[in-house]
Amino acid sequence: MTTSTLPAAAKGVPASEAECIRHLSVEARAAFDHFRSSGDPANLDPVVLAILQDYTPRTSARPLAELPGETQLMRDLGFDSLAIAEVVFFTEDLFGVTISNEEIVPVRTLDDLRQFIRGKVTAHATT
């Protein structure tokens, strides 16, 4: 088995994280592994987009990575409060962060969500 095909747990990712990311794309898992090794939150974008893809109510004609950052989660992608809550719960589990309702309410676009998660993960890493 080559390094690129090792399960995440074998690469130093705790089993709970490995379980969380096992269904994500190869690219998203690689980005998560790179984030874990580098600590650079800029590596989180593919992970955030993969999480969103899992919970997106409306399928976009283009991959989420190709959509403009101003794409509205609710209006353009069909997210409702339940779908947003699922994204929040998954994000909390994966990164060990806590996200309050008040914090997530202003998040409206793809860019908002990317920046928000980067900020939460960065703040969590420094505490």
CB 13 within 8 A of CB 47: no
d(CA 106, CA 84): 12
Of the two residues 58 and 105, the one the predictor is more confident about is 105
3 lies in some domain: no
Rounded mean pLDDT, 66-94: 93
pLDDT for 15 = 57
SS3 of residue 30 by DSSP: helix
Give the residue numbers spanning the domain of 83: 13-125
Span 69-85, mean pLDDT? 94
Q: How far is CA 111 from CA 1, 3, 11, 46, 81, in A?
A: 37, 32, 30, 12, 18
Cα–Cα distance, 21 to 108 (Å, whole number): 24
Examine residue 120 and state whether it is found in any structural domain, yes or no: yes
In a domain, 6, yes or no: no
* pLDDT tens by residue, 20-63: 888 888 999 999 999 989 988 888 999 999 999 888 887 777 88
- In the predicted model, is pLDDT for residue 105 greater than 60? yes
- 8 lies in a domain? no
Q: How many domains does the chain have?
A: 1
User: Does 8 have pLDDT greater than 50?
Assistant: no
Under a CB-based contact definition with an 8 Å cutoff, are residues 13 and 36 in contact?
yes
CATH number at 59 reads 1.10.1200.10
Contact present, 119 and 39 (Cβ < 8 Å): no
